[in-house]
Amino acid sequence: MEPLITTKPPGPNARAIIARDAKVISHSLARQYPLVLRNASGINLWDVDSNRYLDLTAGFAVMNVGWNHPNVVRAVEHQIKYLSHGSFLSFYSDVPVTFAERLTEMLSPQLDQIYLCNSGAESVEAAMKLARHHTKRKYFISFYGGFHGRTYGALSLTASKAIYRRGFGPFLPVFHVPFPNPYRPYGGERGVSAEDATLTLMAEVFKKEAPPEEIAAIFVEPIQGEGGYIVPPKAFLQELRSICDENGILLVIDEVQAGCYRTGTFLASEQFDVMPDIVCLSKAIGGGLPLGVMVSSEEIMTWQPGSHASTFAGNALSCAAGIAVLDIMKEPGFGNHVVHVGEHLLRGLRALQQDYEIIGEVRGRGLMSAIELVRSRTTKEEAAEERAAVIRHAFESGVTLLAAGESTIRFCPPLTIEKADIDIGLDILRAAIETIAPAREL
């Protein structure tokens, strides 16, 4: 469906709400542009001035099955008649158990124990506690560019933007090493692969800061989200698995953004042929309701009753929505659709790259794709201001986009999107880029 902008955004109704927001809402929130939502459906958003937008964000990769999917809506409407808060901390309830059972059907048999929570950050916090409890070790390793959340443990792992950490230290003991970025290898060394440079620095951590026998877990995103939709070499994650196996370290894979078929498989790590010890899931798993999951094995999840819990964990409404989401994702061809439409998106982005020098790289898997904007393909100087202008122009033309990394635009639309919708978005993106970096002459 074509975007329909009838009132230049932000319109009068939007401006009024934004003014009210400024008076009562914490200024710690950083909105990308002045979009004031009224309702949503499928791949479309409507603002309070009746403008219609083609959504290429899925609410930060949350609405994978589409906004307000009718099956999810029906599940929530049915559940709220009987039980919204089931006090799963104290009592038993069928709905969260059913959700957990359905989820394990999507995973490897080794991943058979489910801890329910309310968000991605909570799932990461639970994973950190479980890793320490199981290994009796205190240190962690994560990666520059990684984003795992903003609560203290998750923030200790996060190293994507200084603003997230400024003024909040000290943090938990985490050692950070560069994430292997094939487009921007650490140090720019020639003849050294991105993954080898990272693994060499990790070896230095083991040698000079914390021996491997004191590392509880390595936390890694299979594809970095906030860091710029960076796809690491397959060998990198496999080598991490080997390092963990050799040293009794747990491998925790944060699938909060990359999971739930975002890349074409339920877990993105499946595409790297890597089996995690712990998996963190959230965002899309709840279909728009707060729901997080930390998954491990019976061998690892041996903590005692009362050692970790949450008042709202296992919320009946969220789990009912989660069951509906899993049922939708189990429908025949769901993952194949993501792969085929994702390939179509990547082809379109590469066609733009041929025409516009400002696009330095196109990368991604499935419908987790990105373009990195640069001022020079030779120097790879980041084009952050130009990126902001492109995103703003696209918004004013009826397409929502999100930034990532220093100068990357990410594409994470609802997974139900069709090729024709992708083409509409690409046409508007082309027009937006043309305004700040005209196509080169052939």
Domain edges within the chain = 12-55+333-436, 70-329
Give residue 441's pLDDT: 54
Of the candidate CATH numbers 3.40.50.1000, 3.90.1150.10, 3.30.450.20, 3.40.50.1370, the domain formed by 12-55+333-436 belongs to: 3.90.1150.10
Looking at residue 189, its pLDDT comes to 60
Residue-level pLDDT at 190: 65
Q: Which CATH number fits domain 70-329: 3.40.50.11260, 3.40.1160.10, 3.40.640.10, 3.40.50.2300?
A: 3.40.640.10
Hey, CA dihedral for 168, 169, 175, 180, is it positive or negative?
Answer: positive
- Number of CB atoms found within 10 A of residue 311's CB: 12
| pTM reported for the whole predicted model | 0.96
Residue 116: its pLDDT value, please?
98
pLDDT of residue 242: 97
What is the pLDDT at residue 442? 44
Radius of gyration of the chain (CA): 22
DSSP output for 314-378: T-HHHHHHHHHHHHHHTSTTHHHHHHHHHHHHHHHHHHHHHH-TTEEEEEEETTEEEEEEBS-TT
Decide if 253 contacts 287 (C-beta within 8 A). no
| Alpha carbons 179 and 146: distance in angstroms, whole number | 8
Nearest to 154 by CA among 145, 162, 146: 146
User: How confident is the chain (442 residues) per 10-residue block, as mean pLDDT?
Assistant: 92 98 95 95 98 98 98 98 94 97 97 98 98 98 97 97 94 96 79 84 94 98 97 96 98 98 98 97 98 98 95 97 98 98 98 96 98 96 96 97 97 98 98 87 49
